Amino acid sequence: MEKEIPDQQVDLDPACYAPYASPRRFITDWTDKIWITRGIGRLGDHYAPDIKVHTCYGETYGFDDVISNSLQKMVAFPNRGGGHDDVIWEARGPSSFVSSHRVFNNATHLGHWTYGPPTGKEWVNRGIAHCLIVDGKVTEEWVIRDEYAVLEHLGLDPFEIARQLAVRSPVLGAEIGSLDNAPALSGTVDDPVATGISGVRPARFERECARVREMFEDVWNRRLFDAVGEYFDDTIVCQTVRLRRVMNIAPYQLEVMKLLAAFPDAKIEVRDIVANYSDDLGLRIAVIWLLRGTYCGSPIYGPVNRAPVRILGASHFELRGDKIIREWRIYDEIAVMAQILKAETHAA
């Protein structure tokens, strides 16, 4: 396997991640300034005024929405902290890069929030923020969080919250519209190994990235679950939603199959790929994926109603040689349930 040159020597103008020492530090240090020391106004240091934020519930455009949503969240969870699990970054030309930032969040529900009045309970979850940074400014962001885990820890009914969010999106404050036309969930990406939703990729780790894409096609779309062993190490560990953790081939197969069982006609599409090698963490590949299907299978999320569903997800893979040894898979089940319940309400 080729060894990528160290982060600080990549053909990337240091001005695009200044004043930090590396793209990784750009993300982690700036995030801590905002959320740990509460410098919420420092969002403007590196967010573009016309930033586009893509979520599982809808789209927001502009810096004011970012400030508003962040302020409300900080009041609801004033002790919110986050462990920087990893930052998988990759250049997009000499003056921009993509960062896929995986965070393990923890907080106490001490203020009013989308989910209601404070419960005083603690919660933990994982999330991934996939950002395009151009000339030191985040111009576009894809945000995916495991909100089901939060509701479980707060003791709230996920079906009731999903029903509320179907008519009052936490992003837009209005009913969730058709997700077919939302930029994050529409269109197709022909060859994400070359060009994804974040732009043209550098000619690095093309073989490994193509193999990850091939895995999604074989295992997820062709339903060749017996091919898991061709792509994953026998000791594969997958951390996924609701803080589930599965180990080894057979449990991994079932974890994929459980999601597809609810949407048996679903197809998954890889929309963006980011690869990074570092001496401390080895080779990791981040993927933004989109699963399109119909709720026509196992009644995991309540009565089956054939609702069209779009699941925006992210996976981080850690590789050793030709095999994947770790995966972190994040998607928002509450957003999935909101789509299902919205269709149920409209049908009634």
Q: How confident is the model over 301-334, as pLDDT tens digits?
A: 999 999 999 999 999 999 999 999 999 999 999 9
Name the domain boundary from 181, 201, 224.
Answer: 181
Position 348 confidence tier, pLDDT thresholds 50, 70, 90: low
Q: How many Å apart are CA 193 and CA 65, to the nearest integer?
A: 32
The answer to whether 252 and 228 have CB atoms below 8 angstroms apart is yes
Segment 210-224 mean pLDDT:
98
pLDDT for position 57: 81
Look at 174 and 89; give whichever has higher pLDDT. 89
Query: Residue 172's pLDDT is what?
Result: 53
Q: What is the mean pLDDT of residues 40-63?
A: 83
234-246 confidence digits (pLDDT tens): 999 999 999 999 9
Average pLDDT, the chain: 90
What is the pLDDT, as a whole number, of residue 2? 39
pLDDT value of position 5: 43
110 and 203 within one domain: no
196 and 101 within one domain: no
Whether 232 and 129 share a structural domain = no
pLDDT at 335 over 50: yes
The answer to whether residue 310 is domain-embedded is yes
pLDDT over 50 (residue 250): yes
Is 167 in the same domain as 266?
Answer: no
CATH number where 81 lies = 3.10.450.50
Tokens standing for 156? 């709230």
User: Exposed, middle or buried: residue 161 (CB in 10 Å: 0-12, 13-18, 19+)?
Assistant: buried
Residues 238 and 326 in one domain: yes
pLDDT in tens, 124-167: 999 999 999 999 999 999 999 999 999 999 999 999 999 988 88
What's the pLDDT at 183? 66
| Euclidean distance between CA atoms 142 and 198, whole angstroms | 10
Give the span between the Cα atoms of 203 and 205, in whole angstroms.
7
Position 142 scores a pLDDT of 95
pLDDT category of residue 64 using cuts at 50, 70 and 90: confident
The predicted structure's pLDDT at residue 41? 83
Please tell me whether residues 148 and 21 are part of one structural domain.
yes
- Are the CB atoms for 274 and 98 separated by under 8 Å? yes
Opening angle at CA 156, ends 150 and 153, nearest 5: 35
- Do 334 and 286 lie in one domain? The reply is yes
**Residue 242 sits in the same domain as residue 338:** yes
Assigned domain for 88 exists: yes
For range 292-302, the mean pLDDT: 97
Do 19 and 99 belong together in one domain?
yes
- Among residues 116, 147, 181, the one where a domain terminates is 181
Question: Is 186 a domain residue?
Answer: no
Q: What is the pLDDT of residue 1?
A: 36
Domain count, the chain: 2
Residues 22 and 114 in one domain: yes
Q: How far apart are CA 98 and CA 88, in angstroms?
A: 8
Last residue of a domain, one of 148, 181, 214: 181
pLDDT category of residue 346 using cuts at 50, 70 and 90: low
Q: How confident is the model at residue 9 (pLDDT cuts 50, 70, 90)?
A: very low
- 35 and 140 together in one domain: yes
Confidence of residue 55 (pLDDT cuts 50, 70, 90): confident
29 and 63 together in one domain = yes
Q: Please give the pLDDT value at position 145.
A: 95
**Residue 340: inside a domain, yes or no?**
yes
Q: What is the residue range of 160's domain? A: 7-181
- Partners of 131 in beta bridges: 99, 141
Please determine, for residue 6, whether its predicted confidence score (pLDDT) is greater than 50.
no
- Please give the sequence-ordered ranges of beta strands (E in DSSP) within the chain, or none if there are none: 47-54, 59-61, 81-91, 96-108, 122-134, 137-145, 195-196, 199-200, 232-239, 245-247, 267-278, 282-294, 308-320, 323-331
Q: Render pLDDT for 157-190 as a digit per residue (tens, 0 to 9).
A: 999 999 988 887 655 555 555 555 566 677 889 9
Share of the chain above pLDDT 90, in %: 71
In a domain, 187, yes or no: no
Asked if residue 252 belongs to a domain, the reply is: yes
This prediction has a pTM of 0.93
CA distances from 322 to 2, 286, 325 (A): 12, 16, 10
Residue of 166, 81, 157, 160 lying closest to 124 (CA atoms): 81
